[in-house]
Amino acid sequence: MPPDSKPHLGRLLQVHVTHPIFFITTCTEQRRPILAAPDIAPILCDEWRAAESRHGWLVGRFVIMPDHAHFFVSPTETARSLEQFVGQWKQWTAKRIMGATGAASPLWQHRFFDHLLRSNESYAKKWEYVRQNPVRAGLAHEPEEWPFAGHIHFDNPLAG
């Protein structure tokens, strides 16, 4: 392995947590800045809304950036694997986005980043990082100004 490349950590195959929440980040191929647009963001949200019935996953808070999306997910009892869910979500969104815009294939990078949240503190820290992303990128002065953020099935599932 070349010294400048890092191995990709394997995905957990089994999780023994009562109500696991995963933090997901997925990027467009070649980091093309096409997602944070009034005609594209609703496609991502539509597919997140369909995630429970199609894949058995609930989608929480999200932030859509120009070249990547961050979102939190939690499985239902009938959930497909995380890898199947995200892969199929990327397929559905890619078909719709390419049909609507003529964007070239592939739309998404092959891999995605996932992190199993282990506590309310972890959730709060990850969410604060995600919600500040548009501010750090110079796209908004305050997180609340960014129009491509919100939640689908749950807001903060760990709040008392």
Q: Please state the φ and ψ torsions of residue 77, each to the nearest 5 degrees.
A: -65, -20
pLDDT, residue 55, reads 95
Evaluate whether residue 16 is within a structural domain.
no
Evaluate whether residue 11 is within a structural domain.
no
Evaluate whether residue 106 is within a structural domain.
yes
Evaluate whether residue 81 is within a structural domain.
yes
Q: Give the domain extent around 123.
A: 22-151
Evaluate whether residue 4 is within a structural domain.
no
b/e 18-51 (16+ beta carbons within 10 angstroms → b): eebbbbbbbbbbeeeebbbeeebbebbbebbeeb
Q: What is the CATH number of the domain that holds 38?
A: 3.30.70.1290
Per-residue 3-state assignment (H helix, E strand, C coil) for 80-132: CCHHHHHHHHHHHHHHHHHHHHCCCCCCECCCCEEEECCCHHHHHHHHHHHHH
Evaluate whether residue 9 is within a structural domain.
no
Look at the pTM and tell me if it is higher than 0.95: no
Query: What's the rounded Cα separation, in Å, for the pair 112 and 84?
Result: 12
At residue 11, does pLDDT exceed 80?
Answer: no
pLDDT tens profile 51-79:
999 999 999 999 999 999 999 999 999 99
Evaluate whether residue 92 is within a structural domain.
yes
Number of domains in the chain: 1
pLDDT tens profile 80-107:
999 999 999 999 999 999 999 999 999 9
pLDDT, residue 47, reads 97
Query: What's the rounded Cα separation, in Å, for the pair 123 and 129?
Result: 10
